[in-house]
Amino acid sequence: MNASTKLLERRRSVVPPGVGQFAGETTAVSGRGAHLIDADGKEYLDLAGGIGVINVGHCDERVVAAIREQAGKLLHTCIHVATYEPYVALCEKLVELLPHGGTTKAMLVNSGAEAVENAVKIARQATGRSAVLCFTEAFHGRTMMGMTLTSKTKYKVGCGPFAPEVYRVRYPRPFHEGAGLPEEEFARRELGLLEETLANRVAAEQLAAIIIEPVLGEGGFIPAPLAYLRGLRELCDRHGILLICDEVQSGFCRTGRWAAYEHADIVPDLSTWAKSMGGGMPIAAVVGRAAVMDAARPGTIGGTYGGNPVACAAALATIAVMEDLNLNERASRIGGIVRERFDRLAAQSELVGDVRGLGAMIGLELCHGRDPRRPAGEAMAAVAASCRERGVLVLPAGRDGNVLRVLSPLVITDEDLDRGLTAIEESVLALTETTTA
Ligand SMILES: Cc1ncc(COP(=O)(O)O)c(C=O)c1O
């Protein structure tokens, strides 16, 4: 029995299966840049990036050095007990990078789900309203409010009852519901559905916030049409509803910008951040307009570990690496390469229904006969298994698990990217031959 099999057996005997496994039975001992080494010394090219956490690569030297240095000074005191510089410095950096109109403030927590929870609490206190509107296909985490806001039933089954006063409207998905409509017209039609929801399900005056992922992450790497995001901003302004952008997966260079919402030239009232912001350490943030953030009463937001000094030092070093290497530009270049290769693949394989994304957040949707109503989840599972055989880790996404999402570290070399894309292409084409034979 090899070392990976032994480790997986140990896992099975003490870790419940509810803690799911996305990338097959992979083990990991160490990582560097875009590479992972498993328990048997096998090397993998990591296009999963720890589910969007590793934009600066595994174990970047500067991030590791910052963690070591901070760990030797102060591991913990809790921001509610004593103020320490790394917490304040990270909030200063966040408000500099992510201005929310006028004065901006930030608070730190441990995970994306916690950021979402706190954003909702802040929005409710700031507006004095209780309802929240979210979207189909959304993923906002596994805490109770996060799970309520999440759409995919597979992630929620048996876990209710869920939080009250949460309403849902259809996420604008051009490939699935656009039927060839020009983008502006499609966006207008989908915004009409939202207006209808305000007339029939929840009054605008009851809504504290609308929460949206500018690019669906778990939901299938689908960017909302930019006209839709602008329309949403306008609708929120008209009704005094706060707009929350969940940038947990799309933020920190993934789309070629710090925030995906920047592509639409909009600014939310509140936004949530985690994953790649910490370079691998558990840290997350809520950023918002000062007037909104200041509405939260003392004691209603925060927590024991939120903004842990070591995690703050890691995040500050991570952001410095992103700036130094200009990872926003690199993401745009990676996105261009990936899109070109996927477009070519789409022309060769009728399993490829859609290629879409922003920057390096690119999804490849597999459907039988390119028909969005015939999702090929089993084909995606076969492609992931075949890529893994070839030493390349990829992740599925989407309601039916039929979208291949590229979350490679943005420090990946062109040669490695080529190797990863070749593995994907060969896996899809091999399958195309067997499914059409
Ligand atoms: C958009 C979005 N929001 C929230 C979350 C939850 O983040 P976490 O797993 O850190 O709680 C995720 C995780 O994938 C996410 O993609």
CB-based contact 376:434 (threshold 8 Å):
no
Rounded distance, CA 261 to CA 367, Å? 28
pTM of the model: 0.98
Element (H, E) at 369: none
Q: Which atom of ligand 1 is nearest to 143's Cα?
A: 11
Q: Could you tell me the CA-to-CA distances from 262 to 169, 222, 247, 332 in Å, in that order?
A: 23, 16, 11, 14
110 ligand 1 Cβ < 6 A: no
* Burial grade of 160 (CB within 10 A; 0-12, 13-18, 19 or more): exposed
Q: Which atom of ligand 1 is nearest to the CA of 218?
A: 16
Cα 248 to middle of ligand 1, angstroms: 6
**Token pair listed for 74:** 């102060």
CB count within 10 Å of CB 332 equals: 17
Separation between Cα atoms, residue 275 and residue 298, nearest integer Å: 26
Residue 137 Cβ contacting ligand 1 at under 6 Å: no
Residue 26 backbone dihedrals phi, psi, to 5 degrees: -90, 145
pLDDT tens per residue across span 206-232 = 999 999 999 999 999 999 999 999 999
Atom of ligand 1 nearest to the CA of 249: 16
Ligand 1 atom at minimal distance to the Cα of residue 274: 10
Instruction: Report the DSSP beta bridge partners of residue 169.
Output: 135
Tell the residue nearest (CA) to atom 16 of ligand 1.
249
- State in Å: Cα 257 to ligand 1 middle: 19
Q: Is the peptide bond before 161 cis (omega within 30 degrees of 0)?
A: yes
| Residue of 20 and 32 predicted with greater confidence | 32
In a mutational test of the pocket of ligand 1, which residue from 111, 114, 213, 249 has the highest number of ligand atoms less than 8 Å from its CB? 249
Q: 335-375 pLDDT, tens per residue?
A: 999 999 999 999 999 999 999 999 999 999 999 999 999 99
What's the pLDDT at 433? Answer: 66
Fill in the amino acid letter for 126: A
What dihedral angle (degrees, nearest 10) is formed by the CA atoms of 251, 276, 386, 150? Answer: -60
Share of the chain above pLDDT 70, in %: 99
Asked whether the CA dihedral 409, 217, 393, 15 is positive or negative, the reply is positive
> Above 60 in pLDDT, residue 436?
no
Tell which one of 215, 248, 361 to mutate to probe ligand 1, the residue whose CB is within 8 A of the most ligand atoms.
248
Pocket test for ligand 1, best of 213, 275, 405 (most atoms within 8 A of CB): 275
What is the per-residue pLDDT for 15?
Answer: 95
How many helices (H) and strands (E) the chain has is answered by 14, 15
| Cβ–ligand 1 contact at 124 (below 6 Å) | no
pLDDT, tens digit (0-9, with 9 covering 90-100), for 103-160: 999 999 999 999 999 999 999 999 999 999 999 999 999 999 999 999 999 999 999 9
Q: Quick one: CA torsion of 307, 312, 318, 322, rounded to 10 degrees?
A: 70
Report how far residue 209's alpha carbon sits from residue 200's, in angstroms, rounded to the nearest whole number: 17
- The pLDDT, as a whole number, for residue 361 is 98
Under the banding of pLDDT at 50, 70 and 90, the label for residue 24 is confident
For residue 435, what pLDDT band results from cuts at 50, 70 and 90?
A: low
pLDDT at 434 over 70: no
Residue 113 Cβ inside 6 Å of ligand 1? The answer reads: yes
Output the CA 141–ligand 1 centroid distance in Å.
5
